Amino acid sequence: MSAVSTDDTVSRGALSHPRRGAALPDRHAGRMAGRAAIADGSLRSQLRVLAVLRGVAALVQLAAICTMAFVWNVELPLAQLFATFGALVVLEAALVYRLRQPHPVTQREFFVHLLCDIAWLSIALYWMGGSRHNPFVDLYIVYVGIAALVLNWRYAGVALAAALAAYALLQVYYVELQLGSLRAHGTDFESIAHTTEFVLLGAIVAYFGYRVSTVGRRHLKIAADAKERDVRKESALNLASLAAGAAHEMSTPLTTMAVLVGEMRRGGISSDEQRANLDAIWNAIQACKRSLGDMVVAVGADQLPEDQPQRAVDFVKELIDRFKLMRPGVPVSLTAQCDEGAALRTGATLRQSVLSLIVNAADVSPASVGVVLRCGDDSLQIDILDRGPGIPPEVRQRLGAQPFTTKAGSGCGLGIFLANLNLARVGGRLEFLERDGGGTCARITLPIDER
């Protein structure tokens, strides 16, 4: 454990463990919407394939009924079979109408359509020999395969159970085909039926497999393009945030330089004071150069470098050293209650965000600023403490949600807004708590890097 100096903190709120991702609804909302659109497009495409298969099934049934009844003179329950055929036509018309509607296709809806097809096939097989004597019973395999390829495992399991149950029932309950007239004329009905079933099944599997493969490749490309757009958008947001943060970061040293230069222009200061002013101006210039350097590196790259793991204690000490260049007259105490090996993923925007909050604390409490680092199992907290006038509860609720300042006559509130935005993008969060004895605690919660 490391401890440098000591300081108090807020009276409540020991290290909390936020839910990872809980602070990122806005970040993921766009991605979730994109994935939902891709999923809907895929299901809609597969539903079109199901409509084609249903249409083929209707034509095949009609051809089989007409051939057996009017060519081979087989006695069939024509009224029942044509009613079954009519029901399939109605189902097909309803599906075509549904595909013209804009609302999304869900897995449940696709599953219902699939069950309708399994039910239709079962009724048709019942009137035409059942699963014992009708080779078209193998079409159940097609529907189970469609469910396995398109739907989740629960729906696929139910489709398999329905097909098995229908197959078992059709072993017992069915209307026997009267094929005596065919055998009398030497027609091998079983051979013809098996050949037709094999050709039909092969064509269906080939067509559906091709369609699934095509749709899958198309939507993989859509997903890849969407991911690339997300990366570019994230990079642009990072650069914009870094630019705005750099401007906000440089405002403090520029203000310091303006004050000191004004004193020197008015004159009446000793040589020692003038030398001290020049040293402070030099430090302010170095701070501005550092901020500009970060901007040059970022703008010169295609995107911001990937965040790198860094020991939490080193990260906080680095920021305090950087702050001392900007505000050399403000004392900062650090308390580190953290394992030496605890690390987090850091980057330019995260550094700017934490540094901005330390600067804000110094603005309202130039005589005392404290930083407390605590580490838990999967998250860490950085408390930035001041002894300023505090923040009213109604104002604390607004901080970070939009640019808003508590500094009368100065500031635009951009620093806290950007800090909250950047912390949320890396899975962290920012909250402001009342401090015992007066002042405010700006609490930053970040996930620990486990890689």
Other CB atoms closer than 10 Å to residue 53's CB: what's the count? Answer: 19
Decide: 296 and 239 in contact? Cβ < 8 Å. Answer: no
pLDDT of 382 higher than 90:
yes
If pLDDT is split at 50, 70 and 90, which confidence band does 36 have? very low
| Residue 291, in any domain of the structure | no
The C-alpha angle with vertex 233 and arms to 245 and 417, in degrees rounded to 5, equals 30
**Domain total of the chain:** 1
Q: Dig out the tokens for 364 from the structure.
A: 């309202």
* Spatial separation of the C-alpha atoms in residues 127 and 64, rounded to whole Å: 13
Which residue, chain included where needed, has tokens 């009724």? 123
Which DSSP symbol is given to 21?
T
Which DSSP symbol is given to 374?
E
> Phi and psi dihedrals of 310, rounded to 5?
-150, 145
Span 256-260, average pLDDT:
78
If pLDDT is split at 50, 70 and 90, which confidence band does 371 have? very high
Q: Dig out the tokens for 358 from the structure.
A: 């330390």
Other CB atoms closer than 10 Å to residue 334's CB: what's the count? Answer: 20
* Each residue's pLDDT tens digit, 109-138: 999 999 999 999 899 889 888 887 777 788
* Each residue's pLDDT tens digit, 208-227: 777 767 767 777 777 777 77
Q: Dig out the tokens for 345 from the structure.
A: 């993923």
Query: What's the domain range around 225?
Result: 28-229
| Residue 141, in any domain of the structure | yes
Q: What percent of the chain has pLDDT over 90?
A: 17
| Residue 280, in any domain of the structure | no
| Residue 337, in any domain of the structure | no
Other CB atoms closer than 10 Å to residue 406's CB: what's the count? Answer: 21
Q: Residue 238: its pLDDT value, please? A: 61
Does 352 or 212 have the greater pLDDT score?
Answer: 352
If pLDDT is split at 50, 70 and 90, which confidence band does 156 have? very high
Q: Dig out the tokens for 342 from the structure.
A: 């605890």
Decide: 424 and 24 in contact? Cβ < 8 Å. Answer: yes
* Spatial separation of the C-alpha atoms in residues 203 and 341, rounded to whole Å: 62
Which of 206, 204, 172, 159 has its CA nearest to residue 59? 204
* Each residue's pLDDT tens digit, 167-183: 999 999 988 876 655 55
Which DSSP symbol is given to 383?
E
Span 42-65, average pLDDT:
81
| Residue 345, in any domain of the structure | no
- Does an H or E element contain 442, and which? strand 440-447
Which residue, chain included where needed, has tokens 């650069």? 239
* Each residue's pLDDT tens digit, 396-416: 777 766 655 555 544 445 678
Span 244-249, average pLDDT:
63
Q: Is the pTM of this model over 0.75?
A: no
> Phi and psi dihedrals of 404, rounded to 5?
-155, 135
